[in-house]
């Protein structure tokens, strides 16, 4: 094993996949000589040249159309959208074209596109550069959406996404870029669609994604001092999400908290909560609790107050333990 930062795990994943398959190429704004807006592609331009590490004009809509055509012609593009907020500029290409091409043409075309994009708040980047919009894309049939929270998971999921014949959106929380963690020296993949139990427990299940996994682990450590044993599950893939792992955990703890940084209203927590209520209601001993951001744009000056974290998760866990049907 070796210690590596999250951002360099992304870099390694892209480099290894480009070395493995000459059809893989990277494209986006400033991904070439500048090395990407957050440094994820640093050094790749020197290794693979301008034909496989393609700097583009500032036109997300045009780039998205380009990768759709490239994928239909047999290439495997990795598209970097500099901030997730900018996905709004290319929604037509992603939602109306990329997500539907394989379905509309009866699988005559594969659409092996990876769209990488940094999301989330915590850097005081303001309301137009700090959003968590993953629920939009999870709502669209034809798209897979993953949200890795550790260096190990981001490398393994990007490599798996590149090899998938369907479009995969990889949502990378920008506040995790400097996070260090262990990864194997040898090659590995992390399967799309499979959650990971980061900490086992018996009293309450906490399902979280991305940066909120780390907040959930903090809350679990604090609650353990009070004799409350929390099971923390990293969802990893939000579409298609891993029902089996979550349902099995709820069947053990009989209580559920769901935590994400995106606004609480209409988020992925609502989907998981609804599915648990509809399919395994008898396993619940108390109402499900959700933790998310308030229903306002991400503020600049009050960002710390806006962001949900370990304290909010602790409150939610205690509430579901206090209540019963």
User: What whole-number distance in Å separates Cα of residue 44 and Cα of residue 242?
Assistant: 34
Q: Are residues 106 and 50 in the same domain?
A: yes
Residues 17 and 129 placed together within one structural domain of the fold: yes
Are 19 and 149 within one domain?
Answer: yes
Tally the domains of the chain: 2
Q: Write down the pLDDT at residue 87.
A: 96
Residues 239-248: pLDDT tens digits?
A: 999 999 999 9
Looking at the structure, tell me whether residues 164 and 206 fall in a common domain.
no
Residue 300: pLDDT band with limits 50, 70, 90: very high
**146 and 269 inside one domain:** no
208 part of a folded domain: yes
Query: What is the chain's mean pLDDT, rounded?
Result: 97
Do 312 and 289 sit in the same domain of this protein? yes
Check whether residue 144 and residue 26 sit in a common domain. Answer: yes
Q: Are residues 145 and 251 in the same domain?
A: no
In this predicted structure, what is the pLDDT of residue 325? 85
Structural domain span for residue 99: 2-183
8-12 CB contacts, 8 Å cutoff, 24+ apart: 8/151, 9/151, 9/152, 9/154, 9/155, 9/181, 9/183, 10/40, 10/116, 10/154, 10/155, 10/158, 10/172, 11/39, 11/40, 11/41, 11/42, 11/43, 11/44, 12/155
Question: How confident is the model at residue 219, as a pLDDT?
Answer: 98
The answer to whether residue 189 is domain-embedded is no
Copy the structure tokens of residue 285. Answer: 């001993």
Residue 236 and residue 179 in one domain:
no
Residue at which a domain ends, from 160, 183, 206: 183
Which of 183, 207, 227 terminates a domain? The answer is: 183
User: Is the confidence at residue 216, as pLDDT, over 90?
Assistant: yes
Segment 176-186 mean pLDDT: 97
231, exposed or middle or buried, with CB in 10 Å at 0-12, 13-18, 19+?
Answer: buried
Which of 183, 211, 226 corresponds to the end of one domain? 183
Share of the chain above pLDDT 90, in %: 98
Please state whether the predicted TM-score (pTM) of the whole model is above 0.75: yes
Same domain? For 142 and 210 the reply is: no
Check whether 109 has a pLDDT greater than 90: no
CATH number of domain containing 231: 3.40.50.920
- For position 18, which CATH number holds? 3.40.50.970
Task: Calculate helix-pair angle for 243-253, 268-279, nearest 10 degrees.
Answer: 60
As a whole number of angstroms, the distance between CA 172 and CA 191 comes to 17
Is 60 contained in some domain?
yes
- Regarding whether 317 and 222 lie in a shared domain, the answer is yes
Task: For residue range 26-81, list pLDDT tens digits in order.
Answer: 999 999 999 999 999 999 999 999 999 999 999 999 999 999 999 999 999 999 99
**Which two structure tokens, joined as six digits, stand for 198?**
């980061």
Q: Are residues 172 and 222 in the same domain?
A: no
The answer to whether residue 188 sits within a structural domain is: no
Is residue 139 flagged as an active site residue? Answer: no
Residue 190 falls within a domain, yes or no?
no
Residue 141 in any domain: the answer is yes
Task: Confirm whether 191 is domain-assigned.
Answer: no
Which of 110, 129, 177, 229 is catalytic? The answer is 129
pLDDT at 212 over 90: yes
């Amino acid at each position: 094993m070796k210690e590596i930062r999250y951002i360099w795990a992304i870099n390694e994943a892209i480099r290894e996949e480009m070395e493995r398959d000459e059809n893989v190429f990277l494209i986006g704004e400033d991904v070439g000589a500048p090395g990407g807006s957050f440094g994820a592609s640093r050094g790749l331009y020197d290794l693979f040249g301008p034909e496989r590490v393609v700097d583009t004009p500032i036109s997300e809509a045009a780039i998205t159309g380009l990768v759709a055509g490239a994928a239909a012609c047999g290439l495997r593009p990795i598209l970097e959208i500099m901030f997730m907020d900018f996905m709004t500029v290319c929604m037509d290409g992603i939602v109306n074209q990329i997500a539907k091409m394989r379905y509309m043409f009866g699988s005559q075309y594969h659409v092996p596109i990876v769209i990488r994009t940094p999301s989330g708040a915590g850097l005081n980047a303001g309301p137009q550069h700090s959003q968590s919009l993953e629920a939009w894309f999870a709502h669209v049939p034809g798209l897979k959406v993953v949200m890795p929270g550790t260096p190990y998971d981001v490398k393994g999921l990007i490599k798996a996404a590149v090899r998938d014949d369907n479009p995969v959106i990889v949502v990378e929380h920008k506040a995790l870029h400097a996070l260090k963690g262990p990864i194997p020296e040898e090659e590995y993949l992390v399967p799309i669609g499979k959650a990971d139990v980061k900490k086992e427990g018996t009293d309450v299940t906490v399902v979280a994604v991305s940066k909120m996994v780390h907040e959930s682990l903090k809350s679990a450590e604090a609650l353990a001092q009070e004799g409350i044993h929390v099971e923390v599950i990293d969802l990893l893939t939000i579409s298609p999400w891993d029902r089996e792992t979550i349902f099995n955990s709820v069947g053990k703890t009989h209580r559920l908290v769901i935590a994400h940084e995106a606004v609480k209203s209409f988020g992925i927590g609502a989907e998981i909560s609804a599915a648990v209520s509809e399919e395994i209601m008898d396993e619940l001993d108390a109402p499900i609790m959700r933790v998310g951001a308030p229903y306002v744009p991400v503020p600049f000056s009050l960002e710390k107050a806006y962001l949900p974290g370990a304290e909010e998760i602790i409150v939610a866990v205690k509430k579901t333990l206090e209540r019963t049907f």
